[in-house]
């Protein structure tokens, strides 16, 4: 089952509002320190993930890598919609990919091609050895918030550590 489809099922697609002070930081929200910290950890490891997943030619692997991107909502300058993007290619600090989630606030649809800057990226997920999710920092927070009887099957999909041991 593709990573993004499962991400939607556990509630990873959501919209949130930014405070005026956070306007330039598209990924943080005014009211969720735990998700903000997860975003910070994802951003700290983004370059490592990109070096190990996207080839020197800017092309992604055939499958198994996605980004969580905070897209601005045109009608409200302070609102973002967090969506999964897969089949990501890179050209410098610009990324191109295809929506893996169905937007609720944007005038786009699932599988539409999108272009976005690096600073809109809030998280990354790589389906590595054994199909385990690496990265997925925000997902880890959101899984822990689900009802306890609905967590086990999701934790089985997430790697023990966010970074594969062989990445350098």
Residue 45, pLDDT > 70, answer yes
Does pTM top 0.85 for this prediction? no
Is 123 within 8 Å of 38 (Cβ atoms)?
Answer: yes
Residue pointed to by tokens 């897209």: 71
pLDDT confidence tier of residue 29, bands split at 50, 70 and 90? confident
DSSP letter for 158, please.
Answer: B
Q: Find the distance separating the first CA and the last CA of the chain, reported in whole Å.
A: 28
Mean pLDDT of 17-34: 62
Q: Is the pLDDT of residue 13 over 80?
A: no
State the Cα–Cα distance between residues 89 and 95, nearest whole angstrom.
6
């Amino acid at each position: 089952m593709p990573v993004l489809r499962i991400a939607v099922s556990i509630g990873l697609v959501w919209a949130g509002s930014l405070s005026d002070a956070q306007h330039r930081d598209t990924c943080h929200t005014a009211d969720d320190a735990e998700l903000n910290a997860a975003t910070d950890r994802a951003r700290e490891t983004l370059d490592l993930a990109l070096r190990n997943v996207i080839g020197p030619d800017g092309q992604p692997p055939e499958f198994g890598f996605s980004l969580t991107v905070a897209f601005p909502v045109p009608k409200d300058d302070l609102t973002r919609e967090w969506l999964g993007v897969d089949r990501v290619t890179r050209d410098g600090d610009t990324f191109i990919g295809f929506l893996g989630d169905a937007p609720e606030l944007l005038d786009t649809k699932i599988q539409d091609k999108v272009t976005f800057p690096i600073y809109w990226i809030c998280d990354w997920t790589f389906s590595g050895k054994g199909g385990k999710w690496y990265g997925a920092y925000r997902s880890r927070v959101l899984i822990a918030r689900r009802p306890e009887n609905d967590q086990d099957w999701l934790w089985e999909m997430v790697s023990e550590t966010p970074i594969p041991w062989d990445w350098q």
